[in-house]
Structure 1
């Protein structure tokens, strides 16, 4: 090797300065012959590789360090045309490194020796830290992209099961081969044993070949009771994830709490498990269990961080769906309780009603209807709609309903009833306005008198099926403190059906309401049929699929003498 150095440096540096530079530099230097066999390595490369210099001489490039990927094609081009080139080579040497697979950037030159022909000399610098930084940066970008994508895929509805299914389907296959979601069950049949936390098995996602093995994972019971000693329970109690890469059967059983489930996991080829809680500000609403199977790599720390980010976002959506479901159920039960006891019309008037809650995208509203018997054989029909949705709207609706019943008992004209209710609403301080339609049927006189507080007009369906709107002066909503209501009286022939409704029947996003009202008048409804059948026909023809707002209907008709 000394002869080679002397040969290369002959006539260039009598003091040996160049030799000292190459021998003492911290940058690895290698020289190769035309067949890419080692001619020389400097001490820096010996320290990096962990292989003595003498073990390199005469041996092919890839033989000494088989785990290093050399750019052979680049080296051959340098030997061929003499143009210097840069290249990257990676791998592991015999010297352990916390960086794992290492990365070098080298520049290669062609040299000519007096007696040995052509040679290629490479000088490199390790850039493993830079490479790792770039890898970390790319991984961070990928995590952010995954979280952004999850925001559009998870929590698209206010339904708990749908949200959990979206979460499981997103995690498998984006992060795992198997994804299971369990939610804390607040209301359930039976009582768990003391100290147990009951989870509801809400969603499971896996490819078809694994799903066949996992088909019995749920078992006959839809619930799973977790003792305090289980890994899953501890994750939920502490809010911290648990990682079991290449886990033993004993470790997996601490997650599944059942030896039979361990057997099912193993049959599916699951070798690594990651448990991530679903935390919110108030409590943990559930847990996600991820599994990697077959040839899939174990979970990395980056996977844990990403799963925690996804779980945090999903937990907010699940908690919102839970609170929505609770409020929606309470409001719906209150509304149904109130609407299930409408006032009784006179015996000579037939009444039918319908109430349809809105689709799952909106909370229950404040729609109500009523029918009240008044002196002289008259019947007052009421249809109202409180502004807003949710439990508070339903409570306010009950206050309007009771107030209107009280005022109507005084037997005022319909326009005066609306005015008095408007004044009393301001006095008691209700914070939501309401539209309201009153129609006073007087079968003995053959007339009806109507007044509107910002509500849609009633529809008169005449015998034979033709319909017309009874257009009324549009007074201000109740609670606006503006008063000034007007009534209109029209004759009604026997057999005419008066239809009162809320805006959920005719309002449709992207369609002008006048178009929908015209469509309502153009319906040929079976007036000779029972009113129940008539309302069924109306809803079948006009209310297709899930509607955006609650629909309340009230149909009234004079009974034949």
Structure 2
């Protein structure tokens, strides 16, 4: 038999003893055929504490625990000496006088210089051996069965080993990985970014966690995936880097769920914002602009809003769109600074579309018209009608949608959303979101339409109920004004009248029905007609007011009204004044003295159960009587007493004529946008001449 040098035999035997043996502190001991120790290495000295001088020549069994059964140790050595390798556990005696459990592996090898057998014994602490062996089993099981992708790479970032899970993720066998780098085998992921993270873990020695890999692999070449990778440096016993351990988890589903949740939160926030910002007024154009402003930039990069021309013109909406659509552009966003909105039709312009145009289709079909991928092919159908699609494509528009404005079953117009940023085309969720915003705006636009129609009806009714031609009796000069509320406020129920009696007297009346709109205007007309009839019966002011109150109680929905009645005798200046919750009249004497007449205020008509009081006042001939409704003197920003003082100050200089005085009062007391209707009646009580 060829003899092998002892050191080579030791190395070979250690290698054959087990793949995980090198991870332990293993003592190597050699004995002769008689059991006497002939070799004792440094690991054996570290393990049991004896120096080579103390053990060489002694029988190996002498190192066993003196109180333990030594038969196992002897049988293990005898078995090895007879030519077969053995393995077992014995209790040795440490030099310090304590027991130490050892796992041993023994096998015969040819003697180095002469015939015979040398027994080579490997010994390791039993607890450490069990721990290492258990770790190895766990590692092997984890590597082969874990659903997490695991790889071991060398210091050049070349694959040394991959587990089945990583093979499945990458769609490549282990053989396709070994010896190659990530950038070589997966070109469709951000491999360069990942290798930079790996290199950082190797160079700095600190683990890199949750480094994202994105892209496509041969396992699923049609879909993008997202993986979370972590990298840990592998080191030898001296702390030198020998490679890298990598783990990879596919988090595509979690990312998608997180993205959908985040998108849902943003969309909910946008809907909440739309609820607050869309419909702040009953103005059609302003409501449309609020829709456009809310949608940019969260949903789209540019938005236009168009309504049917008949709606914008204040007419009735037609039933169909058979021959095409005629729209008016009423809003766009952003108003400035956008190349997209700059090339679109300006605000206020009319747009006419044929029956087969996308705008007309969206209106007729009452559902969104979406072009998710806006490209050269998509603009071909429209090329013969307009150059706008080609211009929009040149400006980077890559996706757009048209969403009809529908309210109460009526088509009002549509909103168009354009996208230029690189965030992908409009999704189904975003189409639904645009529909929610459009529905909110459509209801508000329809409310504005209905309000405008009612406002116009009430205004016409109001003006028709006011006296068109006032003919006062001789001795009285009158001037009057009616100023409706601004367009953003509803028409009220203010009115005035001058009724001449047969005996030369005149009845000056002014009133204000509480409320707004058509109902208030209609009640005002009813009261004004009743006053004319009752005044000609020469009833007392108190009786007239009782009859008017009865008329209010006859209404299906009773209303309240303030009222001021003054019966004037121009020959004597005598006045009988009755108030029902109305602001006090003012007088201006010929000498310029201005005062508010101290007349009991009374309660508004319709309250009931309270008697009315008439006050008699004699005015100097040539005096002015000024009757007005509360819209002239009430203000949200100023106290009523201050406003009344302002009124009397203006009356101190009445001017050359009564019409000029009326205009002066309205100019100074009424802002540009009045909150309420204003009725004003000024009468001069002349001399008997």
What is the TM-score normalised by the length of structure 1?
Answer: 0.88
Q: Does 1:164 align with 2:288?
A: yes
In 2: Cα distance, 1:381 partner to 1:96 partner: 94
Instruction: Indicate which of 167, 186, 207 corresponds to 1:46.
Output: 167
1:110 is displaced (CA, Å) by: 3.2
In 2: Cα distance, 1:13 partner to 1:486 partner: 112
Measured at CA, do residues 476 and 213 of structure 1 come closer, stay the same or move farther in structure 2, by a change above 3 Å?
closer
| SS in structure 2 at match of 1:388 | coil
Measured at CA, do residues 49 and 430 of structure 1 come closer, stay the same or move farther in structure 2, by a change above 3 Å?
closer
Q: Does 1:208 align with 2:331?
A: no
Question: Is 2:278–2:290's contact at 8 Å kept on the other side of the alignment?
Answer: yes
Question: Is 1:37–1:58's contact at 8 Å kept on the other side of the alignment?
Answer: yes
The Cα offsets for residues 365-396 of structure 1, whole Å up to 9 and x where unpaired, read as 11111111112222211111112111111111
Q: Which residue of 2 aligns with 1:456?
A: 583
1:247 is displaced (CA, Å) by: 2.5
In 2: Cα distance, 1:145 partner to 1:99 partner: 33
1:10 is displaced (CA, Å) by: 6.0
In 2: Cα distance, 1:250 partner to 1:352 partner: 71
Instruction: Indicate which of 462, 475, 478 corresponds to 1:348.
Output: 475
In 2: Cα distance, 1:314 partner to 1:153 partner: 10
Instruction: Indicate which of 52, 56, 65 corresponds to 2:177.
Output: 56
The Cα offsets for residues 128-159 of structure 1, whole Å up to 9 and x where unpaired, read as 21111111111111111122222333222111
Q: How does 1:511-550 map to 2 (within 5 A)?
A: 511-550=638-677
Q: Which residue of 2 aligns with 1:407?
A: 534
Mean CA deviation greater in 8-17 or 81-90: 8-17
**Higher Cα Rg, which structure:** 2
| SS in structure 2 at match of 1:489 | strand
1:220 is displaced (CA, Å) by: 9.6
Q: Which residue of 2 aligns with 1:109?
A: 232
In 1: Cα distance, 2:528 partner to 2:220 partner: 78
Measured at CA, do residues 516 and 254 of structure 1 come closer, stay the same or move farther in structure 2, by a change above 3 Å?
farther
Measured at CA, do residues 55 and 113 of structure 1 come closer, stay the same or move farther in structure 2, by a change above 3 Å?
farther
Instruction: Indicate which of 61, 84, 91 corresponds to 2:214.
Output: 91
| SS in structure 2 at match of 1:382 | strand
In 2: Cα distance, 1:457 partner to 1:404 partner: 19
In 2: Cα distance, 1:365 partner to 1:98 partner: 71
Q: Which structure 1 segments of 5+ residues have no match?
A: none
1:164 is displaced (CA, Å) by: 1.1
In 2: Cα distance, 1:255 partner to 1:205 partner: 23
1:492 is displaced (CA, Å) by: 1.9
In 2: Cα distance, 1:98 partner to 1:64 partner: 14
Question: Is 2:20–2:133's contact at 8 Å kept on the other side of the alignment?
Answer: no
Measured at CA, do residues 130 and 466 of structure 1 come closer, stay the same or move farther in structure 2, by a change above 3 Å?
farther
Measured at CA, do residues 269 and 117 of structure 1 come closer, stay the same or move farther in structure 2, by a change above 3 Å?
closer
Q: Which residue of 2 aligns with 1:180?
A: 304
Q: Which residue of 2 aligns with 1:387?
A: 514
| SS in structure 2 at match of 1:110 | strand
| SS in structure 2 at match of 1:284 | strand
Question: Is 2:330–2:347's contact at 8 Å kept on the other side of the alignment?
Answer: no
| SS in structure 2 at match of 1:199 | strand
1:44 is displaced (CA, Å) by: 1.8
1:449 is displaced (CA, Å) by: 1.9
Question: Is 1:99–1:129's contact at 8 Å kept on the other side of the alignment?
Answer: no
In 1: Cα distance, 2:444 partner to 2:563 partner: 36
In 2: Cα distance, 1:58 partner to 1:368 partner: 98
Measured at CA, do residues 537 and 29 of structure 1 come closer, stay the same or move farther in structure 2, by a change above 3 Å?
same
The Cα offsets for residues 23-58 of structure 1, whole Å up to 9 and x where unpaired, read as 343221112233433332223222212234334334
Mean CA deviation greater in 30-39 or 364-373: 30-39
| SS in structure 1 at match of 2:398 | strand
Instruction: Indicate which of 344, 350, 360 corresponds to 1:222.
Output: 350
In 2: Cα distance, 1:296 partner to 1:255 partner: 25
Mean CA deviation greater in 519-528 or 416-425: 519-528
What is the TM-score normalised by the length of structure 2?
Answer: 0.73
Instruction: Indicate which of 259, 273, 276 corresponds to 2:400.
Output: 273
Q: How does 1:483-498 map to 2 (within 5 A)?
A: 483-498=610-625
Give aligned pairs, total: 555
Q: Which residue of 1 aligns with 2:155?
A: 34
Q: Which residue of 2 aligns with 1:310?
A: 437
Question: Is 1:476–1:482's contact at 8 Å kept on the other side of the alignment?
Answer: no
Q: Which residue of 1 aligns with 2:327?
A: 199
In 2: Cα distance, 1:418 partner to 1:245 partner: 70
| SS in structure 1 at match of 2:211 | strand
In 1: Cα distance, 2:200 partner to 2:20 partner: 21
In 2: Cα distance, 1:268 partner to 1:38 partner: 47
The Cα offsets for residues 195-227 of structure 1, whole Å up to 9 and x where unpaired, read as 444333222334435267525x35996253552
Measured at CA, do residues 250 and 119 of structure 1 come closer, stay the same or move farther in structure 2, by a change above 3 Å?
closer
Question: Is 1:454–1:475's contact at 8 Å kept on the other side of the alignment?
Answer: yes
In 1: Cα distance, 2:362 partner to 2:505 partner: 67
Q: Which residue of 2 aligns with 1:22?
A: 143
In 2: Cα distance, 1:275 partner to 1:107 partner: 46
Instruction: Indicate which of 314, 319, 326 corresponds to 2:453.
Output: 326
Q: Does 1:556 align with 2:662?
A: no
